């Protein structure tokens, strides 16, 4: 009896795997061949920036869509990665022009590199710090918060406050450029950023990182951990009674999301050419979320496409209607979160369901009960006593 279903499952598995590879293949062709061929250098660089946002979005999709943690402060980790990369680039530029300190410090009359800048002269240290610092902070913060069972709106407010605090702190720090932040990068690990070929290389790096990040989250989503994460999202208390500490489960997703945001920030700085408090605070943190919500936060590709789409629309429309776009974006966010919690991806699933139902109407057969389209944010705790 076990033979037939097993065979079918193997076929389905194979098909699924083939589809996955095909999907990654198509994405790779689009990103590495089609986009560079049809887009101007300027547009390609712009797409590179969107890809950075998409990398952040993939992490948010994991933490928020799958883990139920409304991460309203990813700007913190984006900023940490971006600033650390920016500091290294500034030092490298200064060393190239035989100056003891970066240009903006000279103008401010600073003659000696601040002590905390020193280690960032080393490329290896910088890259390591971009990985280690945000993940360590996220892990420590996550443990502190989730072990105390802070969740829902309280967690969202906390993470948002953090973003605001970091932005305010940075504005006041003249040693990292104050409200101007770090800008005017000339080289990236020895490559002149003026050269279009090098700009293209940066775009390729961003594209490659995005593909890797999507692959990592895909593995996480379909692993046992991914199933557990959904269980924690939908019934944190219940999971506790099965012998798990849900705080640990959540910390992992939160930390991964922070790590991705940091990498994205570190790529954003050289691609866009600056890193400033305006990329760190509340507003950018919310904008990260909008794309994820619109694309469909519980899916793998929804956040990616949503983030790229929203960023693209923003560039397109804000050139023509700068003030209206902000309202449109806000409205879109409210409509999606309020009425389509599953985002555009959910709309697709809805269409499929409607079509299937329409097909199923002529021969009236027992309705296959639809999967409850519940809001993943809704707390379903059976443990209310």
Partner 1 sequence: MTTEVEPVSGGNVGMGTEYLEVRRLTVDFDGFKAVSDVDLTLFQGDLRFLIGPNGAGKTTVIDAITGLVPATGSVNKSGVELLGKKVHQIARRGVGRTFQTASVFEQLTVVQNLDIAAGAGRSPWTLLRRRRGMLPAIEDALDTIGLTELAEKPAGVLAHGQKQWLEIGMLLVQNADVLLLDEPVAGMSHEEREETGNLLRRIGGERTVVVVEHDMDFMRAFATSVTVLARGQVIAEGSVAEVQANPKVQEVYLGTAAAGAEGIPDELIEESS
Closer to partner 1 by CB, 270 or 343: give it. 343
Question: Binding of partner 1 at residue 219 (CB under 8 A)?
Answer: yes
Question: Binding of partner 1 at residue 223 (CB under 8 A)?
Answer: yes
Binding residues for partner 1, rule CB under 8 A, total 32
CB of 61 to partner 1, least distance (A): 16
Q: Choose, by CB under 8 A, the member of 24, 204, 225, 325 that binds partner 1.
A: 225
Q: Choose, by CB under 8 A, the member of 235, 295, 302, 346 that binds partner 1.
A: 235
* Integer Cα distance of 288 and 261 in angstroms: 10
* Integer Cα distance of 321 and 76 in angstroms: 29
Reduce the DSSP state of residue 376 to 3 states and report it: coil
Q: Which residue has the tokens 């956040």?
A: 303
Q: What is the residue-wise DSSP string for 152-203?
A: HHHHHHHHHHHHHHHHHHHHT-GGGTGGG-EE---EETTEETTSHHHHHHHH
Closer to partner 1 by CB, 9 or 95: give it. 9
Q: Tell me which residues in 332-371 interact with partner 1 (CB under 8 A).
A: 369-371
End-to-end CA distance of the chain: 44
Closer to partner 1 by CB, 112 or 224: give it. 224
The 10-49 contact track toward partner 1, x by CB under 8 A, reads ----------------------------------------
Biggest distance spanned by C-alpha atoms of the chain = 83
* Integer Cα distance of 143 and 172 in angstroms: 29
Q: Choose, by CB under 8 A, the member of 157, 164, 208, 231 that binds partner 1.
A: 231
Closer to partner 1 by CB, 10 or 335: give it. 10
Q: Choose, by CB under 8 A, the member of 109, 243, 322, 338 that binds partner 1.
A: 243
Question: Binding of partner 1 at residue 1 (CB under 8 A)?
Answer: no
Closer to partner 1 by CB, 37 or 371: give it. 371
* Integer Cα distance of 297 and 345 in angstroms: 8
CA distance to 35, 38, 182, 351, per residue, from 294 (Å): 23, 27, 31, 16
Question: Binding of partner 1 at residue 222 (CB under 8 A)?
Answer: yes
* Integer Cα distance of 70 and 375 in angstroms: 13
* Integer Cα distance of 277 and 275 in angstroms: 7
Q: Tell me which residues in 244-263 interact with partner 1 (CB under 8 A).
A: 244-245
Closer to partner 1 by CB, 153 or 242: give it. 242
CB of 251 to partner 1, least distance (A): 12
The strand pair at 187-188 and 274-275 is best described as unpaired
Question: Binding of partner 1 at residue 218 (CB under 8 A)?
Answer: no
* Integer Cα distance of 20 and 128 in angstroms: 31
Q: Which stretch binds partner 1 (CB under 8 A): 123-131, 138-146, 214-222, 353-361?
A: 214-222
The 280-319 contact track toward partner 1, x by CB under 8 A, reads ----------------------------------------
* Integer Cα distance of 55 and 78 in angstroms: 10
Q: Which stretch binds partner 1 (CB under 8 A): 79-87, 95-103, 242-250, 268-276?
A: 242-250
Q: Which stretch binds partner 1 (CB under 8 A): 109-117, 160-168, 279-287, 374-382?
A: 374-382
Question: Which residues are CB-neighbours of 234 under 8 A, at least 6 positions away?
Answer: 68, 376, 380
* Integer Cα distance of 296 and 350 in angstroms: 12
Summarize as ranges the residues that interact with partner 1 (CB under 8 A): 219-220, 222-225, 227-228, 230-231, 234-235, 237-245, 369-372, 374, 376, 380-383, 385
């Amino acid at each position: 009896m076990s033979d037939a279903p097993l065979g079918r499952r193997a076929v389905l598995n194979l098909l699924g795997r083939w589809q996955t590879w095909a999907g990654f293949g198509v994405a790779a062709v689009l990103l590495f061949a089609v986009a560079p061929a049809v887009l101007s250098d300027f547009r390609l660089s712009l797409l590179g920036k969107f890809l950075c946002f998409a990398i952040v979005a993939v992490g948010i999709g994991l933490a928020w869509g799958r883990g139920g943690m409304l991460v309203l402060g990813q700007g913190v980790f984006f900023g940490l990665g971006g600033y650390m990369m920016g500091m290294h680039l500034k030092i490298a530029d200064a060393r190239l022009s035989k100056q003891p300190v970066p240009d903006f410090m000279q103008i401010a009359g600073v003659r000696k590199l601040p002590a905390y800048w020193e280690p960032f002269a080393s490329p290896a240290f910088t890259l390591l710090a971009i990985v280690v610092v945000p993940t360590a902070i996220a892990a420590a913060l996550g443990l502190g918060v989730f072990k105390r069972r802070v969740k829902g709106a309280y967690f969202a407010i906390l993470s948002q406050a953090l973003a605001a605090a970091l932005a305010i702190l940075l504005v006041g720090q003249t040693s990292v450029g104050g409200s101007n932040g770090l800008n005017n990068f000339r080289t990236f690990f020895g490559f002149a950023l003026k050269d279009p070929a090098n700009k293209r290389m940066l775009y390729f790096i961003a594209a490659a990182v995005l593909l890797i990040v999507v692959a990592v989250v895909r593995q996480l989503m379909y692993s046992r951990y991914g199933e557990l994460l959904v269980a924690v999202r939908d019934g944190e208390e219940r999971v506790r009674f099965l012998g798990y500490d849900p705080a640990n489960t959540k910390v992992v997703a939160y930390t991964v999301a922070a790590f991705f945001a940091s990498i994205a920030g570190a790529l954003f700085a050289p691609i866009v050419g600056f890193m400033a408090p305006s990329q760190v605070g509340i507003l950018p943190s919310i904008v990260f979320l909008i794309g994820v919500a619109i694309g469909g936060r519980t899916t793998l590709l929804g956040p990616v496409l949503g983030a790229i789409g929203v960023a693209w629309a923003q560039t397109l429309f804000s050139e023509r209607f700068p003030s209206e776009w902000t309202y449109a974006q806000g409205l879109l966010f409210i409509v999606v979160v309020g009425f389509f919690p599953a985002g555009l991806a959910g709309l697709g699933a809805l269409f499929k369901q409607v079509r299937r139902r329409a097909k199923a109407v002529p021969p009236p057969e027992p309705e296959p009960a639809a999967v409850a389209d519940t809001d993943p944010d809704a707390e379903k705790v059976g443990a209310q006593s």
